[in-house]
């Protein structure tokens, strides 16, 4: 077993924070991957908050994983150290059922999902990609095409395959009219992929606010669904509608826009299901269907397709410390179009707190107070934030130069020299090296419990 740094939740009501997890040692058929980036999928939010009622805790979410192979088992022939690889929503399956045998592992009756699932031994919790490392059976590891930048490729492992699979299955291609409902993480990938498949692509969005963006992403047409005329104008128009949204829609009205023998495919899960009358299905022999990610073979096919057509996701790259904020923004659909976590930030993670105690403010200098980001015994991350906000501090970030300036000022004012020491009420000693931002906590028994180098985040009080 190896100890791995991760970020996740202990229960459904907590914000995400640092966690230590264990991963198995590399077995004969295993590939160990240093995770470079992990995308943030809406289902991460559902599951950390137990909104589907099936969550297993503690949980480290993340199933849009990309990184580099660092170790391989003796039986691994398809990968070598240094390869750029990805891991999606599945890390194993039963391998025996008809679905597995056809390469449709996503429909296996005993799939092993990347997280919120039990591993093959039926007792170890599978933990996802908000972590520095993952060990996966080679059969569930995917090859990333050389020409694709890793960070923008991460979302292909879920959002990419979730949209590619139904477009392929329902034959999106030249001469086909395809509509995409919703222009979010899934929708923007669906537009790019459908366009590369040479279909005529229409975006159906609630308003025309995202029209320019939809066109930039490759859509041929954009219609607003808050305008009833859209449904008349586009009656019996589409061969295929891909519904990427998880809000309740009038499915019957949308099916009215589908041609004879056409289909509408659901990818999102509304919390309460709309009622559907049989008429829109009977008149026009239409189908209402669903689709779930894709099998491993098809996921590799999708990655190769995206490599060939240079398709990646539009992303906003964030450090792990911004993850709770990112979740809030996903809930408000305020992201273009996928958050991706830079996992290097987990290695150097620290909340650095700058305060202006009056005695130092008087000298015109900064003072820094570093806070143990593991803080199990002190603060949960949300509590920390709450605590400082209550006292009038705001969260922000500073440049290295500003940091060093402040550190120098503190150094000048500090008789203890470069290292500040503080004894905590429980007897642990904090060491904070001003010149580098390194921070460690020495426990009473002399063990170093945490060690970080700051990433220059801080709390600042507005005077």
Binding site for Zn ion (CB under 5 A): 41, 43, 93-94, 97, 100, 108, 158
| Cβ-based nearer residue to Zn ion, 177 or 188 | 188
| Cβ-based nearer residue to Zn ion, 141 or 409 | 141
Q: Render 34-72 in DSSP notation, one character per residue.
A: EEEEEE--HHHHHHHTTTTS---SSB-----EEEEEEEE
Backbone angle region of 364, left / alpha / beta, with phi > 0 → left and psi within -120 to 50 → alpha = left
Shortest distance, position 42 Cβ to Zn ion, whole Å: 7
State the angle between helix axes of 185-196 and 296-309 in degrees (0 to 180), rounded to the nearest 10.
Answer: 70
For residue 217, the SS3 value is helix
CB 48 within 8 A of CB 16: yes
Shortest distance, position 291 Cβ to Zn ion, whole Å: 13
Shortest distance, position 193 Cβ to Zn ion, whole Å: 16
Token digits of residue 299: 């996921």
| Cβ-based nearer residue to Zn ion, 295 or 406 | 295
Shortest distance, position 87 Cβ to Zn ion, whole Å: 12
Shortest distance, position 432 Cβ to Zn ion, whole Å: 39
Pairing of strands 367-371, 84-87: unpaired
Strand partners, 59: 9
Shortest distance, position 94 Cβ to Zn ion, whole Å: 3
Shortest distance, position 290 Cβ to Zn ion, whole Å: 15
| Cβ-based nearer residue to Zn ion, 93 or 291 | 93
- Helix (H) / strand (E) element for 28: namely none
CB 247 within 8 A of CB 186: no
| Cβ-based nearer residue to Zn ion, 97 or 348 | 97
Q: Render 348-359 in DSSP notation, one character per residue.
A: T--EEEEE--HH
| Cβ-based nearer residue to Zn ion, 110 or 424 | 110
| Cβ-based nearer residue to Zn ion, 101 or 308 | 101
Q: Where are the beta strands (DSSP E) in 329-444?
A: 338-342, 351-355, 367-371, 393-397, 419-423, 429-433, 438-442
Strand partners, 440: 431, 451
Shortest distance, position 197 Cβ to Zn ion, whole Å: 21
From 186, 205, 200, 335, select the one nearest 265 (Cα to Cα).
Answer: 186
Token digits of residue 180: 């995409």
| Cβ-based nearer residue to Zn ion, 100 or 367 | 100
């Amino acid at each position: 077993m190896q100890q791995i740094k991760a970020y996740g939740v202990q229960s459904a009501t907590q914000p995400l924070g640092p966690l230590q997890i264990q991963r198995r040692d590399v077995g004969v058929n295993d590939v160990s991957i240093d995770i470079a980036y992990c995308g943030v999928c809406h289902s991460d939010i559902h599951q950390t908050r137990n909104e589907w009622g099936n969550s297993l805790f503690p949980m480290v979410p993340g199933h849009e994983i990309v990184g580099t192979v660092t170790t391989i088992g003796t039986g691994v022939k398809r990968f070598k150290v240094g390869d750029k690889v990805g891991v999606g929503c599945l890390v194993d399956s039963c391998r025996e059922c008809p679905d597995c045998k056809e390469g449709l592992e996503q429909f296996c009756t005993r799939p092993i999902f990347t997280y919120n699932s039990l591993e093959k031994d039926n007792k170890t919790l599978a933990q996802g990609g908000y972590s520095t490392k993952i060990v996966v059976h080679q059969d569930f590891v995917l090859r990333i095409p050389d020409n694709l930048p890793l960070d923008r490729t991460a979302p292909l492992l879920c959002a990419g395959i979730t949209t590619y699979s139904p477009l392929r299955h329902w034959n999106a291609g030249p001469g086909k009219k395809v509509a995409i409902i919703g222009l979010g993480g899934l929708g923007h990938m669906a537009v790019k992929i459908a366009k590369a498949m040479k279909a005529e692509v229409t975006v159906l969005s609630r308003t025309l606010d995202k029209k320019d963006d939809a066109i930039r992403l490759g859509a041929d047409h954009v219609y607003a669904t808050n305008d009833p005329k859209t449904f008349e104008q586009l009656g019996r128009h589409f061969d295929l509608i891909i519904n990427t949204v998880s809000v309740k829609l009038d499915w019957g009205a949308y099916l009215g826009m589908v041609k004879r023998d056409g289909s509408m495919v659901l990818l999102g899960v509304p919390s309460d299901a709309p009622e559907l009358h049989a008429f829109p299905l009977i008149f026009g022999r239409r189908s209402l269907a669903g689709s779930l990610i894709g099998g491993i073979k098809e996921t590799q096919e999708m990655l190769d397709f995206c490599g060939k057509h240079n398709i990646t996701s539009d992303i906003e790259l964030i450090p792990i410390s911004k993850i709770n904020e990112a979740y809030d923004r996903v809930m408000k659909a305020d992201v273009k179009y996928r958050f991706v976590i830079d996992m290097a930030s987990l290695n150097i993670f620290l909340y650095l707190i700058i305060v202006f105690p009056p005695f130092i403010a008087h000298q015109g200098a900064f003072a820094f107070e570093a806070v143990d980001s593991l803080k199990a015994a002190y603060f949960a991350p949300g509590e920390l934030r709450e605590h400082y906000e209550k006292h009038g501090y705001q969260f922000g970030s500073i440049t290295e130069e500003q940091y060093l300036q402040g550190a120098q000022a503190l150094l000048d004012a500090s008789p203890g020299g470069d290292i500040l020491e503080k004894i905590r009420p429980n007897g642990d000693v904090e060491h904070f090296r001003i010149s580098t931002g390194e921070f460690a906590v020495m426990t009473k028994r002399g063990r170093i419990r945490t060690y970080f180098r700051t990433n220059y985040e801080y709390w600042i009080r507005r005077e």
